[in-house]
Amino acid sequence: MRDIRRCPVCGAYVEVEVHCGAPTAAVLDGATRLKISKLLSLALRHSPRVLGIELDGEGWADLNALAEGMRRAGLPASPQVLKAVAQLDDKGRFEIRGGRVRARYGHTIKVHIRYEVDSDTPLLYHGTAIHVLPSILSQGILPMRRLYVHLAVDVETACLNARRRQNPAVVEVDADCVRKSGNPIYKAAEKIRLTPHVPPTCVRRWTTC
């Protein structure tokens, strides 16, 4: 993961060494950024108590409380640094609003987030592993412990997720078929879509990554 830096001209947090025509100042090294990002995901998606914080019904957490929890965990993370980590996340996993932050998707804990409905994307893709394919072809794609099935808008994004497993594969999904089955599709991030279930009849084909 790349270092986070700050532009002395506009004050923006960036990942480049020159911004607005001026050298940027190092704020957070890539290794520490990765640790903070993983712990942030864990707390906002699965277990708020690991940082001693509380989420409201829509998944929001106070940035100051998060920063204090990070410091107790031995990580140097001010509210401003946490905001930068969230805003620069390349998967669009986080959302900032005022002094609060939440995960946009990936929850195993009960939260209620109002998503925009995706009513027109024709094809979507799901990253998985080859040994899971027989189950997918017989039962469809299930959310398992998460609230929703995760789908990507392109093969590349789905493969990034699939490569965390051995023998990665990507399943192509007929999105119109999913909608007609009574399962709405939601826009969670620029390249991520969510749905309660993908029936096996909506799985078109699969390929390795």
Q: What distance lies between CA 173 and its chain's CA centroid?
A: 20
Q: What ranges make up the beta strands (E) of 73-199?
A: 94-97, 100-103, 116-117, 123-129, 149-152, 168-174, 186-187, 192-195
Question: Which among 13, 43, 160 is positioned nearest to 91, based on CA atoms?
Answer: 160
160-123-58 Cα angle (round to 5): 70
Question: Which among 52, 41, 190, 45 is positioned nearest to 121, based on CA atoms?
Answer: 190
Res. 200 pLDDT band, cuts 50 70 90:
very high
Reported as a single tens digit per residue, the pLDDT across 114-166 is 999 999 999 999 999 999 999 999 999 999 999 999 999 999 999 999 999 99
Instruction: Specify whether the CB–CB gap between 152 and 126 falls below 8 A.
Output: yes
pLDDT of 76 reads: 82
pLDDT greater than 90 at residue 193: yes
Reported as a single tens digit per residue, the pLDDT across 32-84 is 999 999 999 999 999 999 999 999 999 999 999 999 999 999 998 999 999 99
pLDDT of 138 reads: 97
Dihedral pair phi/psi, residue 141, rounded to 5°? -100, 120
Q: What is the mean pLDDT of residues 4-30?
A: 97
pLDDT of 170 reads: 98
pLDDT of 27 reads: 94
Q: Decide if 4-103 and 116-208 have a common fold.
A: no
Every domain of the chain and the residues it spans:
4-103, 116-208
For the domain made up of 116-208, give the CATH fold: ADP-ribosylation fold (3.20.170)
Claim: this prediction has a pTM higher than 0.85: yes
What is the maximum alpha-carbon separation in the chain?
Answer: 57
For the domain made up of 4-103, give the CATH fold: Arc Repressor Mutant, subunit A (1.10.10)
Instruction: Specify whether the CB–CB gap between 128 and 165 falls below 8 A.
Output: yes
pLDDT of 25 reads: 97
